[in-house]
């Protein structure tokens, strides 16, 4: 069973990685970049500030906590626990892959910190603001999927490296959404709250 899983994981990695063009290389390199999305983050903060008003400070503070926890979970717990080599460092496979700007990433790739962070943030927004900002939710999930896909395209993650965070992140996003809704009445006693099931 594990052999079949590894075969499919590797086959899809190669299929995605080898479907490259010069234009796609540049697009995926940008999509995967941490600083590429700074204007996007600023825009989300501005939208939250406009829509949530005084509650935005609490929302953004918890969002930062979401990123910190998801990043540490991926980088400091799961990667050291599994020690699974990235495809770009896997003997026999690394020479078969196409790399952009000679980027190979660190040694271990399970799970993808990029994917964990973006999916956790997307689910946090889903559980907190989908009622008030429903139009934003498809955008953030499309962004998260694009980032996750780019990591496989660049050859630095197996598909499972980005799919497992998609399974873990809803739990993390929901837990932090509960934290947000529990903090609101402590700071704004007159504010009505609903909870992560219904959104803000």
Q: Give the pLDDT score at 30.
A: 97
Angle at 71 between CA 65 and CA 75, to 5 degrees: 150
Three-state DSSP at 80 gives helix
pLDDT digits (tens, 9 = 90+) for 135-190: 999 999 999 999 999 999 999 999 999 999 999 999 999 999 999 999 988 887 65
Structural domain range at position 178: 2-187
**Does 49 fall in a domain?**
yes
Angle, to 10 degrees, between the axis of helix 159-187 and the axis of helix 136-153? Answer: 150
**How many domains, the chain?**
1
Q: Give the pLDDT score at 34.
A: 84
Q: Give the pLDDT score at 5.
A: 87
**Does 192 fall in a domain?**
no
**Does 200 fall in a domain?**
no
Query: What is the C-alpha to C-alpha distance for residues 163 and 116, in angstroms, rounded to an integer?
Result: 9
**Does 69 fall in a domain?**
yes
Phi and psi, residue 90, nearest 5°: -90, 115
Mean pLDDT of 71-90: 96
Q: Give the pLDDT score at 191.
A: 56
**Does 197 fall in a domain?**
no
**Does 71 fall in a domain?**
yes
pLDDT cut 70: percent of the chain above it: 94
Provide the token pair at 107: 């040694």
pLDDT cut 90: percent of the chain above it: 87
Q: Give the pLDDT score at 1.
A: 73
Q: Give the pLDDT score at 190.
A: 52
């Amino acid at each position: 069973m594990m052999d079949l899983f590894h075969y499919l994981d590797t086959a899809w990695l190669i299929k995605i990685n080898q479907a490259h063009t010069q234009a796609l290389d540049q697009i995926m390199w940008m999509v995967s970049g941490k600083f590429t999305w700074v204007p996007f983050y600023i825009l989300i903060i501005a939208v939250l500030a406009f829509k949530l008003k005084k509650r935005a400070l609490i929302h953004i503070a918890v969002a930062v906590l979401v990123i910190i926890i998801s990043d540490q979970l991926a980088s400091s717990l799961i990667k050291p626990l599994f020690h699974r080599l990235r495809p770009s460092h896997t003997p026999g496979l690394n020479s078969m892959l196409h790399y952009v700007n000679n980027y190979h990433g660190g040694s271990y790739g399970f799970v993808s910190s990029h994917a964990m962070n973006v999916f956790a943030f997307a689910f946090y927004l889903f559980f907190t603001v989908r009622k008030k900002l429903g139009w934003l939710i498809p955008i953030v999930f499309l962004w998260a999927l694009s980032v996750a896909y780019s990591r496989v395209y660049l050859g630095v993650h197996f598909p499972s490296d980005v799919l497992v965070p998609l399974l873990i992140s809803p739990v993390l996003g929901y837990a932090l959404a509960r934290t947000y809704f529990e903090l609101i009445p402590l700071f704004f006693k007159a504010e009505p709250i609903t909870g992560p099931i219904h959104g803000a």
